């Protein structure tokens, strides 16, 4: 069960390993940014990640940012999928890192570590180069990425204002900071992560702990329907 005061001491090694230190600042003058479109992060060899800069991005106007996390066996480009078609109209920056392995550290290693470090490095670079609205910073994902988004988002709720979890399986926060709003969706016909033992249980736990949770079930399998993605983005913005 999650408590709003956290399950571990704030200065415990387990909590510190899951904490992100990069923060957006506004007003500020960002460094010169690349042109709109899809760009590699160029932070890692082999597994890296991508950044999508929407058409119409302006350095003098802070943009919302969504950090999108891919499912098991995937990569950052796949993590973009739910919001990529909607990003230009929304003026949304999308950051989609690759997990250091085939899935995220707390799932693959039963502990936080290299993925938190890499995401923190990517965020620091984005915050240096782009105007990001501190009041609209989300972390989201699908499947394993959704489980990791819930876990990382709750632990770093003083950075992430919103958490978006499409078909999560579980959550393993290392602590509780801030009060992020949470959006969860799940297919009633999901055979990969059954809704009864996954999202329905998670939503009950989160609401019992005082989180503001918007929950949507749909008649479908383990996927993110376009209508659900659009609703989640509208909810975020």
Which CATH number does the domain housing residue 157 bear? 3.40.50.1820
Highest averaged pLDDT of the listed ranges 35-49, 96-110, 185-199: 185-199
- C-alpha to C-alpha distance for 116 and 214, rounded to whole angstroms: 26
**3: in domain:** no
Highest averaged pLDDT of the listed ranges 22-26, 101-105, 210-214: 210-214
**6: in domain:** no
| Residue 143, CB-side half-sphere exposure with 13 Å CA sphere | 19
Say whether pLDDT at 193 is over 90: yes
Domain with 84 in it: 13-236
pTM attached to this predicted model: 0.94
Percent of the chain at pLDDT above 70? 94
Which tens digits make up the pLDDT trace of 38-49? 999 999 778 999
Say whether pLDDT at 3 is over 70: no
| Mean pLDDT of all residues in 68-77 | 94
Cite the beta strand spans of the chain per DSSP E.
37-40, 49-53, 63-69, 93-97, 132-142, 162-166, 181-187, 213-218
Neighbours of 171 (CB within 10 A): 24
pLDDT of the residue at 32 = 65
The tally of domains found in the chain comes to: 1
What does residue 224 show for φ and ψ, rounded to 5 degrees?
Answer: -125, 95
In this structure, of 44-48, 76-80, 100-104, the range with the lowest mean pLDDT score is 44-48
**1: in domain:** no
**48: in domain:** yes
**4: in domain:** no
The single-letter DSSP state of residue 156 is T
**83: in domain:** yes
Comparing 33 with 201, the larger pLDDT belongs to: 201
**182: in domain:** yes
């Amino acid at each position: 069960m999650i408590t709003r005061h956290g399950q571990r001491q704030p200065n415990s090694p387990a909590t510190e390993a899951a904490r992100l230190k990069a923060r957006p600042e506004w007003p500020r003058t960002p460094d010169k940014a690349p042109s709109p479109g899809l760009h590699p992060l160029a932070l890692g060899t082999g597994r890296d990640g991508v950044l999508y800069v929407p058409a119409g991005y302006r350095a003098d106007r802070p943009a919302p940012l969504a950090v999108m996390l891919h499912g098991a066996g995937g990569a950052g480009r796949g993590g973009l999928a739910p919001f990529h078609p909607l990003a230009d109209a929304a003026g949304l920056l999308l950051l989609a890192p690759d997990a250091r392995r085939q899935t995220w550290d707390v799932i693959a290693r039963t502990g936080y570590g290299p993925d938190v470090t890499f995401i923190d490095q990517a965020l620091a670079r984005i915050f240096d180069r782009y105007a990001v609205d501190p009041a609209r910073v989300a972390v989201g994902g699908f499947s394993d990425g959704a489980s990791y988004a819930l876990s990382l988002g709750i632990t770093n709720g003083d950075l992430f204002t919103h958490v978006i979890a499409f078909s999560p399986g579980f959550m393993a926060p290392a602590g509780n900071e801030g009060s992020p709003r949470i959006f969860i969706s799940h297919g009633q016909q999901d055979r990969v992560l059954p809704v009864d033992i996954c999202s329905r249980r998670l939503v009950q736990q989160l609401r019992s702990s005082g989180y503001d949770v918007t929950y949507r079930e749909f008649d479908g399998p383990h996927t993110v329907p376009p209508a659900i993605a659009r609703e989640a983005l509208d909810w975020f913005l």
